[in-house]
Amino acid sequence: MKTLVDHIVKVGIADLKFAEAPMHLRTSGLGSCVGVVIYDTRLKIAGMAHVMLPDSTSAKKDNINVYKYADTSLPVLLQTLLDKGAKRYQLKAKIAGGAQMFSFSSTNDMLRVGERNVVAVKQFLETERIPIVAEDVRGKSGRTIEFSTETLLLNVRTVNQGTQDL
């Protein structure tokens, strides 16, 4: 007999995974990182990306981890869902994370990684016309998220703030 733990696909930092009903996708360690779930409402299949940075153009090496960046992981997430039979018009998104984990007196935009991640994710989803139906972004606290492909709910646990379903 399978337990709930057997139904959880763990998504690591700078990682991307897929699941179908009744599986769950879970990632933790979302500080300035953003967790992005794109799912097909009819097929009940989903992918989750744990985006660390907004843009791969700042990478210093050639063999980058494409799952680390919004501009490289999200196209892979979308195309894989379409390859699995998802219909573009059925796709929805839920996002969480992008906190400002540290206080800086500097106005240097490079230090505002959480904000830059949120903007990059939203720009991609808008360009691809995938509606964001729920979000819990920014703030100052880390999060763990778990998405149910069965109920299509995103459970967000925020440090020192409790849990909510989106």
Active site residues: 33
Residue 100 C-beta-side C-alpha neighbours within 13 Å: 12
Amino acid at 66: V
Structure tokens at 146: 């778990």
Q: Return d(Cα 139, Cα 92) in angstroms, integer.
A: 23
Q: Which tokens hold the place of 162?
A: 């409790």
> Where are the alpha helices (H) located in the chain, listed in sequence order?
70-83, 113-127
